Amino acid sequence: MNEIIGLDIERKIYKKRASTVTLLQNFSLNVQEGEKIAIVGESGVGKSTLLNIIGLIDRDYAGTYHLFGQDVAELSDRELAYLRNQKIGFVLQESALINSLSLADNIKLPFLYSKDPKRHLAERFDEVVTTLGIEPILSKKPLDCSGGEKARAVFARAIVMSPEIVLADEPTASLDIDNREKILDLIFKLNEENGSTVLTVTHDLYVAQRHDRVVTLQRKEI
């Protein structure tokens, strides 16, 4: 198996007016292709921050990061955008859906950057919406949807490109048991069939236990 993520963070600092928050001190994470990893730890310890760093959203930290064998610090903005759009599926707690677009058009947004044949994209779209059972709500706009409906659309958009890495931040938090199972099944199906690497931030022990490895973030004294 290949190493897909090689991360060595010395520290991540947030400065806010007079206060400073230091997170992820001397934190290392190495992930092999196809691994399923749950990230747990108390609230505020830096789990979402870690996911943002892995997902190339946050690049303001001290340390080194190799993704797909490439040193992230050496990648151009264009290369970073390509990786974010085509290789990484991000399921964020508050991923913004565009309110003026239907759920269907929101889910199809990643297609704008894709060179894959249209027929292939249409098949992926059908498969994802069928598995999630969201065909009946595809024409709705986000403002007319419940939290659970929006969560499923956000999830569908994140995985519609069959990303090589799925980064999920509390993907099941706002869902009932039935929908939680649907989302977990889809994540793990991507892992099995596509070999996608999965990193899931969760407070849910049941969800964490369904991964290969659980990484616990701990606060370090400064």
Ligand X SMILES: Nc1ncnc2c1ncn2[C@@H]1O[C@H](COP(=O)(O)OP(=O)(O)OP(=O)(O)O)[C@@H](O)[C@H]1O
Binding site for ligand X (CB under 6 A): 14, 16, 21, 23, 41, 43-49
Nearest to 40 by CA among 221, 170, 180: 170
Closest distance of CB 29 from ligand X, Å: 14
- The residue (of 52 and 102) whose beta carbon lies closer to ligand X is 52
Closest distance of CB 110 from ligand X, Å: 24
Closest distance of CB 54 from ligand X, Å: 12
Query: Half-sphere exposure of residue 217, counting CA atoms within 13 Å on the CB side?
Result: 28
- The residue (of 21 and 81) whose beta carbon lies closer to ligand X is 21
User: Distances from the Cα of 130 to the Cαs of 48, 79, 138, 139, 165, in angstroms?
Assistant: 29, 32, 11, 14, 22
- The residue (of 44 and 133) whose beta carbon lies closer to ligand X is 44
Closest distance of CB 6 from ligand X, Å: 21
Please identify which residue in the block is written with the tokens 């060179």.
115
* Backbone angles phi and psi of 50, in degrees to 5: -60, -45
Closest distance of CB 202 from ligand X, Å: 9
Question: Side chain identity at 30, as an amino acid letter?
Answer: N
Judge contact between 1 and 175, C-beta under 8 A: no
- The residue (of 130 and 216) whose beta carbon lies closer to ligand X is 216
- The residue (of 46 and 89) whose beta carbon lies closer to ligand X is 46
Judge contact between 97 and 153, C-beta under 8 A: yes
